[in-house]
C-alpha cells in the first residue's frame, strides 16, 4: 500500500517536473513517448511492489538463443 | 542532431578504458580461474588480442558512419522498417545490459558492504545518479571522466604496491596443466565481458568525437590499457589467492583488497577496490543508458532525448530487480546465454552492417 503511494507520488513528481518544458516547447511526439513510457513504468513498478512475479526477459533470451549457445559451448567442450 | 556536444579524442580514450574495466575488474578473475585454473593469465592475454581485433572491426565500421550513430546507420543501410526493428532490438540489448549492471552493483553493495539496506534502495540511488549524468549530456560526463580517471589509476597502483609482498609464484605452476580448450573458452568469456561490451561507444563514436583519425588510435590504446589493468588484477588474484580461492569467490578482487596487511597496522583497505569499482561501473552503466535513450529518441525522431530519461529510469529500476532472481542464476546466465547474446550485437551486427554498407557503397560507385 505504502509502496504504491510512493510510486504514484514519484510519478506525479516526474510529470510536474517534465510537463512545463514539454508545453513550453510544444513537443507533441516527445509528450506521447514520455507518457507511454511513464505509464508502462508505473504499471511495472506497482506489479513488482505487490510481489507478483513478472516474466524475466533473460529467460526468453535463454530460450531463443539455446541452439546457438549449445553450438558454441559444444565447440569448446 | 539531438546531441550537440563534441568530446576530444583523449576523453574518448578514458571512456573506453573505464567502459572496458567496468564490471570485468571484479568478475573476470573468478570466471577465468574457474575455466582455466592457474592459466587464467594466458586466457587474459589471448582475450586482449581478440579484443584488439574486434576494435579494428569497430574502427573500420566507423569509416562508414561519418557523423551518424549506429542506430541512424542501421536505418540508412537496412531500409526504414528493417533498420528500425534491428535498432529497437539493439536498444533492448543495451537496456537489459544496463539493468544487469545495476543489479550487479546493488548485489555487491547489499552482500558485502551494507547488508541491512534493501537492494531496491541501492538500485534507486544508483539509477538516480546515472539519470543525472545522462541529463547533463555527453560533454559533462566525458569531462568528469578526466577528473575520476586519475583516482582509478592511483587506487589501482596503491593496490598493486601493497600486495607485492604477498605474491607467491608457486600458484602459477604447472602451466598448461589442462591443455588448450579451457584457455580458449575462458578467453572467449573474457572477451564477452570486456571488448564486446564496447559496442555502446559506437553511439558516440565517430559522430560526437572531434578528430576521427586520432579517436581510432585512442580506441585501440584505450582497449590496450584496460586490458593490461585487467591482466594485472587477474595475475595478482592468482598469485596471491591461488586459483581455487579465486574461482570460488564471487568478487576475488575484493578479497584481494581484504588481504592487504602491512605490519598489522595498515589493514582492511577494501574501500580502495570499492571506490574504483563504483567509478568504472558507473561509467559503463551511463554509456549503456545514454546509448539506449539516444537511440530510442532517434528511432522515434524526437528533438530532445532528456524527457525520456526519468520514465526509462523507472523501468530500469524494476528491470534490475527482476533480471537475476539470485546470484546462481546470474553466474549460470553469464557463462552461457550471455556469450551468444553479446556476440550477436557486439560482433555479428557490426559485421553485417559493414558488409552490407560496403556493398551498397560499391553499387553507388558503379
Tens digits of residue pLDDT in A5-60: 999 999 999 999 988 988 888 888 889 999 999 999 999 999 988 888 888 899 99
Q: If you average pLDDT over residues B125-134, what whole number do you get?
A: 95
Q: Residue B260's pLDDT is what? A: 87
- Using an 8 Å CB-CB cutoff, list chain A residues near B184: 76
- Using an 8 Å CB-CB cutoff, list chain B residues near A4: none
Q: pLDDT tens-digit profile of B323-352?
A: 998 888 988 899 889 999 999 999 999 999
Q: Residue A53's pLDDT is what? A: 83
Between B366 and B48, the more confident residue is B48
CB B307 within 8 A of CB A20: no
Beta bridge partners of B7: B209
Counting Cα atoms < 13 Å in the Cβ hemisphere of A76 gives: 18
Say yes or no for a CB contact (<8 Å) between A56 and B322: yes
Q: Residue B366's pLDDT is what? A: 62
Integer Cα distance of B78 and B121 in angstroms? 42
Q: Residue B96's pLDDT is what? A: 94
Q: pLDDT tens-digit profile of B58-68?
A: 999 998 888 88
- Whether pLDDT at B2 is above 80: no
CB B317 within 8 A of CB B127: yes
Integer Cα distance of B259 and B270 in angstroms? 9
CA–centroid distance for A55 within its chain: 13
Helix axes B70-78, B270-299, angle to 10 degrees: 40
Q: Residue B356's pLDDT is what? A: 92
- Using an 8 Å CB-CB cutoff, list chain B residues near A57: 96, 319, 323
Q: Residue B11's pLDDT is what? A: 94
Arithmetic mean of pLDDT over chain B: 90
CB-CB: which of A22, A29, A61 is closest to B300?
Answer: A29
From chain B residues 61-100, the ones with a CB under 8 A of any chain A CB are: 96
Residue B243 contacts by C-beta under 8 Å, 6 or more apart in sequence?
Answer: B33, B37, B38, B40, B171
Say yes or no for a CB contact (<8 Å) between A21 and B307: yes
Q: Residue B243's pLDDT is what? A: 87
pLDDT band for position B1 (cuts 50, 70, 90): low
Q: For residue B112, give how far its alpha carbon lies from the nearest alpha carbon of chain A (Å).
A: 25
* Highest mean predicted confidence (pLDDT) among B32-41, B96-105, B325-334: B96-105
pLDDT band for position B173 (cuts 50, 70, 90): confident
Per-residue DSSP letter, B7: B
- Whether pLDDT at B184 is above 60: yes
Q: If you average pLDDT over residues B92-121, what whole number do you get?
A: 92
Amino acid at each position: 500500500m505504502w509502496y504504491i503511494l510512493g510510486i504514484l507520488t514519484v510519478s506525479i513528481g516526474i510529470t510536474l517536473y517534465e510537463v512545463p518544458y514539454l508545453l513550453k516547447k510544444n513537443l507533441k511526439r516527445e509528450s506521447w513517448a514520455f507518457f507511454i513510457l511513464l505509464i508502462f513504468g508505473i504499471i511495472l513498478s506497482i506489479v513488482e511492489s505487490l510481489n507478483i512475479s513478472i516474466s524475466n526477459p533473460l529467460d526468453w533470451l535463454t530460450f531463443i538463443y539455446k541452439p546457438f549457445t549449445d553450438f558454441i559451448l559444444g565447440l569448446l567442450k | 542532431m539531438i546531441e550537440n556536444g563534441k568530446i576530444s579524442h583523449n576523453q574518448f580514450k578514458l571512456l573506453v578504458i573505464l567502459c572496458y574495466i567496468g564490471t570485468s575488474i571484479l568478475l573476470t578473475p573468478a570466471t577465468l580461474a574457474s575455466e582455466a585454473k592457474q592459466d587464467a593469465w594466458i586466457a587474459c592475454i589471448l582475450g586482449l588480442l581478440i579484443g584488439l581485433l574486434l576494435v579494428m572491426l569497430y574502427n573500420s565500421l566507423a569509416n562508414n558512419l561519418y557523423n551518424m550513430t549506429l542506430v541512424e546507420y542501421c536505418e540508412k543501410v537496412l531500409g526504414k522498417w528493417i533498420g528500425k526493428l534491428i535498432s529497437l532490438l539493439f536498444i533492448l540489448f543495451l537496456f537489459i545490459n544496463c539493468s544487469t549492471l545495476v543489479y550487479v552493483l546493488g548485489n555487491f553493495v547489499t552482500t558485502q558492504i551494507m547488508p541491512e539496506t534493501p537492494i531496491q534502495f541501492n538500485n534507486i540511488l544508483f539509477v538516480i545518479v546515472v539519470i543525472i549524468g545522462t541529463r547533463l549530456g555527453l560533454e559533462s560526463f566525458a569531462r568528469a571522466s578526466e577528473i575520476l580517471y586519475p583516482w582509478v589509476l592511483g587506487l589501482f597502483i596503491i593496490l598493486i604496491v601493497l600486495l607485492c609482498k604477498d605474491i607467491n609464484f608457486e600458484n602459477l605452476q604447472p602451466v598448461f596443466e589442462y591443455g588448450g580448450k579451457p584457455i580458449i573458452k575462458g578467453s572467449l568469456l573474457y572477451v564477452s565481458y570486456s571488448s564486446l561490451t564496447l559496442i555502446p561507444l559506437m553511439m558516440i563514436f565517430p559522430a560526437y568525437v572531434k578528430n576521427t583519425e586520432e579517436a581510432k588510435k585512442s580506441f585501440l590504446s584505450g582497449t590496450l590499457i584496460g586490458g593490461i589493468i585487467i591482466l594485472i588484477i587477474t595475475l595478482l588474484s592468482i598469485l596471491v589467492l591461488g586459483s581455487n580461492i579465486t574461482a570460488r569467490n564471487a568478487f576475488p578482487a575484493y578479497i584481494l583488497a581484504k588481504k592487504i596487511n602491512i605490519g598489522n597496522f595498515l589493514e582492511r583497505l577494501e574501500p580502495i577496490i570499492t571506490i574504483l569499482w563504483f567509478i568504472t561501473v558507473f561509467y559503463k552503466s551511463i554509456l549503456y543508458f545514454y546509448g539506449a535513450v539516444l537511440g530510442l529518441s532517434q528511432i522515434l525522431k524526437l528533438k530532445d532525448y532528456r524527457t525520456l530519461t526519468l520514465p526509462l529510469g523507472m523501468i530500469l529500476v524494476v528491470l534490475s530487480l527482476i533480471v537475476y532472481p539470485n546470484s546462481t542464476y546470474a553466474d549460470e546466465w553469464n557463462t552461457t546465454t550471455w556469450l551468444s547474446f553479446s556476440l550477436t550485437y557486439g560482433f555479428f551486427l557490426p559485421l553485417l552492417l559493414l558488409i552490407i554498407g560496403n556493398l551498397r557503397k560499391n553499387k553507388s560507385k558503379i
